[in-house]
Structure 1
Amino acid sequence: MHLFVSFQGPNDGHHVSYRRFRRRIIQRSSSEGPSASTPLATGGQSEPRFELETVCQRLELDSPPRHHEPAQIRHLQGNLHEIELTGSLSHSGDVTSTNTQHTVTTRRWTATENAPEQGWVWSAAIEEHGNAQQADSYERTHALQPFAVLDSTSVSQQGKSVIKLAAPSLLNDYYTNLLDCSCDGIIALALGSSVYLWNSETHALVGYLVPSPQPGGTYLQTISCLSWSRDGRTLCIGTRRGELQLWDVEQKQNTRCLRSHLSVVRALSWKQQLLSSGSVLGHIHHLDPRAPTPLVGAVVQKEAICSLQWSPGDDWLASGSTEGLLCIWDRDIAGVTRSHQPITMMTQPSAVKAMGWCPWQSKMIATGGGLKDGELRIWDTDLGTCVTSAHTKSQICSLRWAEKKRYLVTGHGLPRHQITCWSWEFPSLSPVYQLRVHSDRVLHLAIHSESTKMFSAGADQRFLILDM
């Protein structure tokens, strides 16, 4: 038995079999987004179609429900299709941006205030002998408290002391950057939709940034990256909605909310008081948070950005892509243009997520390969060549240089989830020791520049302190 469905097209009626009708519905819903209970609009017209860039279709975007997200786009010079910042939240006027593929109507934003529409609020750490009722409420909300000591007596097979702390709700995402240590030894760690600040010297929780209450909605922003300013005074938080929030930690207040990108903010890096951010659409924005109009420059990389780092002397900016492209940009960041090109480009077979400039060899940069590669490489950015490499036989998730010990430290995923310390005496690159202290991949590493302490956060939801 065949079921026939009749519907009226724009010019005439058609009779199709149910199987063909169902196939058309599936094809339409997969190409134009989720369909409603009535898949065809009146008159055979469908909703406007929005085509995302290829990388947007490949990578998961954490977008909130449409009714919570206002239009926040401004047409950039050079048709960059990323937001031009004026550091505010109210809007005036509409701008229409058109190209051969699609038309997007956007809003022009003006500088009026910095209070975030949906951000975080500061909460102080609960004292051990504080309000019992408040503590009980906190325990119910956080059954396993962040930075709670799990094991303080364990010693690794290499004779290195290890302290294991809890890191509940740590997002298991290879492309995130959720751990950083300030010059003062304050750890910032994003757990779920909150950021926890912990003093690595006193081993005390300083406080945490929790999502502000949102009337009429429960959507919480997912944090994709964070970074301390070089003076340790400002913490920048990037989200999957393209927002940047800057916090003065000493004053415990939000100083700026910047709607920087139209896509996930994957990486952040500071150049003195200037901040650079990279998005999943390949856009790099250079921002001066002190200025009324913070956007001072922007460039576009061909592929999605997953790492970004200024060199120690601020002479070059390195950006790594999900497709294995490593770009080196010069210090000239002024202007918003597509024409600005990197001075050097290098490639590896997998994403350039683990990346770091050598502190004592200014033109050398190290990169780690993903699961299908597993190669640790050191590049000469002047020549654009790999000067030395080592095969680790495992995914490299994170990478840091330890300047005081003159070590290169890598955090790994499958199959062994190890942390490896390397010695680099040009051109030789050799492992010094290896620690297997995580039961899942080591997503993030941080090193306190003024001490010999190293910190790691893994997909096993553990935060470890290691004495190098």
Structure 2
Amino acid sequence: MRACQTPPKPRHGDRFIPTRAGNTWDTCFPVSPASSTSSSAKDLATRPLGSWNKQPTANDTNCNNGQGVYSNLLKNEVLRDQIENVPVLSPSPTSRKLFKFDSSERSNFLNSAWSPYSLSPINANSAQLLNHSYSKGVSKISKVPLKALDAPQLREDFCLNLVDWSSKNSVAVGLGESVWLWSTNQNLTTDHRQWTGVTGEVTQLCDTGSWRNPVSSIAWNEKGTHLAVGTETGLVQVWDAARETLVNTIWGHTARVGTMAWSQGDTMLSTGSRDCCINQSDLRTNPVIIENQLAAHTGEICGLAWSPDKELLASGGNDNVLNVWSVRHSERTILTYREHTAAVRAIAWSPHQYGLLASGGGFADETIRFWNTITGQAKSIRSITTDSQVCNLAWSPHSAEFVSTHGYSTHLIKVWKYPSLEKIGELDNGRYDRAMYLSMSPRGENIVTGGYETLRFWNVFKKRKDKRRSELDLYKIR
């Protein structure tokens, strides 16, 4: 006969680690407050979390504020407290045990705003606590410009763009029929065309050759090596700034070119004109070929801006319309916004939120509006009235802040927070000087404004802590 063998038992190891996921201990065993009645948020914030955490003194409170925030954060997540602020802690003569159970606190948990279906790793009270405790303070913005340069023959026209700051730290400005460069990074030889600036050198790059054909717009490419120059007759030139040579000449517009924007690796140039058309020119061919002409506006094109991923082009016109174009459907607009009641020149894409577009209206509108281009919503998601003509908009690359420059009637430069739209700074550009032009420095700390034959340099945003740029394309992460 065959002996019966006992089947082997499965080996589970010598330790048993229970799974605590899904347990609702705070529902079954709620923790009672210090007294028999329900305690306030201040009492909950000041009670010790365990025997190792003693009641803080006044000196401990000043030195260990972060420890108090961490302690209150644990109470919110573990004990389901509802602490949203960190009060000033004072020594308490009484103490209590941590595990003292009472059913009176069950209602606090059941009536809380916390939802088990929330995607946040922490509840709403903890998020509010962190916002109050670690919110960055409003930085002080100097109301005095860093520099001021004379800019004779700088034209003041709402539909022109005559100032641009390159990634190589060179500021280009169109003065009359000439284009001048102000730079601190170039060792220029002395000749009759240049003079010493405040802390740098100024040199003339090009001249249109006729006072009847003044410069109407300029735009640097992303690398800061080539400068596009638009003129009153509709001619567009592309110059090599280092060699001071003309690279390309583009014909195609029948009226002045007031705005331009580079795209697709500095190989495509978008130009907007008074002829109500936007031309897309391929600079890789010689002569340059106009690949596409966008015609949807009924007024002069005042502003152009490509999205950070170069997939969408926003255009604003003197017809009070803001259009959004796609490179995949370039023959027609994909979005049209008509809430502005004046010419739209100020256009800026957010570098922090994919698809967020800001725009500003002229004197009859005086409003900054924000649009969600992802959902295709026809109405603005936020807006704020500025009580003056909105000339330019620019986002800070470091934080959710943006700057706006204004013309009639305040002539101010304003710094805002987003999404609260709280005004955190206000600079006076001069009693009679409209801040007609705006451009940002390569590091996103300073701006230059132009108006009334003067260029002013301001420090409006915080410095970049990490000088190294990330090579990741964060704009693809939605």
Shift of 1:330: 0.7
Mapped to 2, the partners of 1:161 and 1:192 lie a distance apart of 25
Q: Distance in 1 between matches of 2:405 and 2:230?
A: 22
SS, match of residue 276 in structure 1: strand
Q: Tell me the residue number matched to 1:16.
A: none
Superposition pairs for residues 342-381 of structure 1, below 5 Å? Answer: 342-347=333-338, 348-381=340-373
**Corresponding residue SS for 2:381:** strand
- Amino acid aligned to 1:455: V
Give the 5 Å matches for 1:289-368: 289-292=283-286, 293-304=288-299, 305-332=301-328, 340-347=331-338, 348-368=340-360
Residues of 1 paired with 2:357 and 2:168: CA distance? 25
Return the TM-score normalized by structure 1. Answer: 0.61
Indicate if the aligned counterparts of 2:297 and 2:319 stay in contact, CA closer than 8 A.
no
Q: Give 1:388's aligned amino acid.
A: R
Aligned with residue 224 of structure 2, among 216, 232, 249: 232
Q: Which moved more, 1:320-329 or 1:286-295?
A: 286-295
1:243 offset after TM fit, Å?
0.5
Preserved contact between residue 337 and residue 378 of structure 2 (Cα < 8 Å) = yes
Alignment of 1:7-406 (within 5 A): 158=142, 160-199=144-183, 203-211=199-207, 219-271=211-263, 272=265, 273-292=267-286, 293-304=288-299, 305-332=301-328, 340-347=331-338, 348-382=340-374, 383-406=377-400
Contact 2:302 2:316 in 1 (8 A): yes
Secondary structure of the equivalent of 2:217? strand
Partners of 1:419 and 1:360 in 2: CA distance = 22
User: Structure 1 residues 158-167 or 187-196, which shifts more?
Assistant: 158-167
Kindly provide the CA deviation profile for residues 343-394 of structure 1, in whole angstroms up to 9, marking residues without a partner as x. Answer: 0100111111111111111211111111111111111123232111111111
- 1:161 CA drift (Å): 4.7
Contact 1:268 1:275 in 2 (8 A): yes
The alpha carbon displacement at 1:434 in A equals: 0.2
Among candidates 415, 425, 428, match of residue 409 of structure 2: 415
Query: Could you tell me whether the CA contact under 8 Å between 2:348 and 2:393 is conserved in 1?
Result: yes
Distance 1:219 1:349 in 2: 34
- Which residue of structure 1 lines up, in the alignment, with residue 443 of structure 2? 450
2:347 & 2:398 partners in 1: Cα distance? 19
Structure 1 residues 137-189: Cα deviation after superposition (integer angstroms, max 9, x where no partner): xxxxxxxxxxxxxxxxxxx9955553222111110111100011111111011
1:246 Cα deviation after fit: 0.3
Q: Which consecutive unaligned segments of at least 5 residues does structure 2 have?
A: 1-139, 187-198, 461-478
**1:305-349: CA deviations, max 9, x gaps?**
111111110110111110111111111377xxxxx2200100111
CA distance in 2, matches of 1:456, 1:167: 11
1:429 maps to 2:432: no
Question: Is the 1:286–1:333 contact (alpha carbons within 8 Å) kept by the matching residues of 2?
Answer: no
In the alignment, residue 412 of structure 1 is paired with which amino acid?
H
The percentage of counterpart residues that share the same residue type is 28
Which segments of 5 or more consecutive residues in structure 1 lack a partner in the other structure?
1-155, 335-339
Corresponding residue for residue 107 of structure 2: none
State the match for 1:39 in structure 2: none
The CA RMSD measured in Å over matched residues stands at 2.0
Match of 1:119 in 2: none
- Partner letter of residue 462 of structure 1? T
State whether residues 158 and 434 of structure 1, in contact with CA within 8 Å, keep that contact through their aligned partners in structure 2: no
Return the letter of the residue paired with 2:344.
V
Alpha-carbon distance in structure 2 between the residues aligned to 1:406 and 1:200: 29
CA contact (8 A) 1:298 1:333 kept: no
1:212 positional shift: 5.8
CA–CA distance in 2 between the matches of 1:280 and 1:343? 22
Secondary structure of 1:421's counterpart equals strand
CA distance in 1, matches of 2:268, 2:229: 15
Contact 1:261 1:279 in 2 (8 A): yes
Structure 1 contact 399–411 (Cα < 8 Å) conserved? yes
* Structure 1: distance between partners of 2:372 and 2:302: 21
**Residue 90 of structure 1: aligned partner:** none
Q: How many equivalent residue pairs? A: 301
Q: What is the distance in 2 between the residues matched to 1:178 and 1:453?
A: 18
Q: Which has the greater radius of gyration?
A: 2
CA deviation profile, 1:384-436 (whole Å, cap 9, x unmatched): 321111111111112212212442111111222000011103xx212110000
State the distance in 1 between where 2:416 and 2:184 align. 24
Distance of 1:435 and 1:361 partners within structure 2: 27
Q: Secondary structure at the match of 2:147?
A: strand
Please tell me the residue identity of whatever aligns with 2:314. A
* Aligned counterparts of 2:434 and 2:226: Cα–Cα separation in 1: 29
CA distance in 2, matches of 1:346, 1:330: 15
